[in-house]
Amino acid sequence: MKYQSHDFIFNPDDFRDSKFVSGVNYEADGLADGEVIIEIDRLALTANTISYGIAGKSGLIRYLESFPAPQGYARMPFWGFGNIVASAHPELSAGERLYGFYPPSTYLLTKMDKVKPTSCRDMSPCRKSIPTFYSEYARVAAEPGYSTEFDDMQSLLRPVISTSFLLENFITRHEFYDARNVIITSASSKTAFGFGHFLVNNHANRCKAIGLTSAGNKDFVEKIACYDQVLTYDDVEMLPKEPSVLFDMAGNSTVRGAIHDHLGEQIAYSGTVGATHWESVGADDAALPGPRPVFWSGPDEIAHLELESDDPAQMLNLISARMGGLMLEASQWLTVTHFSSPEDIKAAYTDMLDSKMTAEQGIIFDLRGVRANLTD
């Protein structure tokens, strides 16, 4: 049996230059020991996805090396679900469902090892460019309470809440830098509101979570109640002049500069987490008042946690346990939209780049539709 993959690729020098191309034609009968072919089912497109592309392009984190692509192009990593369709691993069978880090492709060949009841790991050489956490796949049938009914919400929220969890771990590990306020830009983004939710619900006695967002998204951000205070980008001068830490999810140099100009030395730490405003990154921050912004790295925080545990799967379990309540709440806020044709997927991706998606939208790419639409 052969499985022809079709890959959605983009140009790291021009993110809008994107297309579906024919990829590898995998031969199930020729699998080496440990190899597994996964039929990718659904993937979530979030601002976090775009951040992987930006970080990969800059070389800060080598995300774009995880899944090879034709010269001059790359495959942007997504989180989602897939099903094993062929296996040469004795502990993994066809039909098993796996959650994890996937390329935007219809099929993926993996080299599985470190198989446990709740997880397995892709040991393919290309996966070594990033921490092992990103090579772990959850064997979801073994997870308590797992239901396919929540696959869309898991695809959308589990990865970004993972980052929210890491941010919470980072700020508590550093004892909030002795600051009172935690300022979070792009407050409508899922990573941001997950982080805000954890701060409000777990650390209200220690800090005040302040979300900054666009005027158009302010009502949504106030409705979800994940922050103690919500301001628009035009309201930066209303930020209290008190010791604060800044987590810039937007990557917008103009907003970051305005916050630094207003608070100056009151900023105890300034970290750039992502880049939801992908065309506004790369400014020189050296002249800004206060501490120079640094790139906050999720993989670095994962590495710190791995010093405490040599089992990356344990981290997946911790995140899964923290996710349940927020996922149920967020299902009341978000409207999931599926895109299944190659044309619709490209259009949705471009709309995300152009900030045309609303905060309430949850975007799912249905790769089953791509397989039905593309043939060689």
pLDDT in tens, 183-221: 999 999 888 999 999 999 999 999 999 999 999 999 999
CB neighbour burial string for 157-194, b if at least 16 within 10 angstroms, e if fewer:
bbbbbbbbbbbbbbbeeeebeebebbbbbbbbbbbbbb
- Residue 142: C-alpha distances to residues 96, 118, 136, 247, 284 (Å): 10, 6, 15, 35, 47
What's the whole-number mean pLDDT along residues 47-67?
86
Residue ranges of domains in the chain, CATH in brackets: 2-146+334-373 (3.90.180.10), 161-300 (3.40.50.720)
Please state the rounded mean pLDDT for residues 134-146: 90
Instruction: Give the 3-state DSSP-derived string for 115-129, with helices as H, strands as E and coil as C.
Output: EECCEEEECCHHHHH
Helices (H), 69-131: none
275-284 pLDDT tens trace: 554 455 555 6
3-state secondary structure of 29: helix
**pTM attached to this predicted model:** 0.85
Residue type, 49: T
Mean predicted lDDT score pLDDT of the chain? 89
CB 158 within 8 A of CB 294: no
Provide mean pLDDT across the span 22-34: 94
Contact (CB, 8 A) for 287 and 264: no
Helices (H), 6-150: 47-58
Instruction: Check: CB of residue 195 under 8 Å from CB of residue 168.
Output: yes
Q: What's the rounded mean pLDDT across residues 39-63?
A: 88
Q: Which residue has the higher pLDDT, 111 or 314?
A: 111
Mean pLDDT for the stretch of residues 301-329: 71
Contact criterion met (CB below 8 Å) for 76 and 53: yes
Greatest CA separation found in the chain?
66
pLDDT number for residue 376: 52
- β-bridge partners, 99: 81, 138
Give me the pLDDT at residue 12, please: 94
Task: Return the pLDDT at 145.
Answer: 78
pLDDT at 39: 97
pLDDT per residue over 245-302, tens digit each?
999 987 788 899 999 999 999 999 999 886 554 455 555 666 889 899 998 988 788 8
Residue-level pLDDT at 311: 63
The arithmetic mean of pLDDT across residues 119-128, rounded, is 94
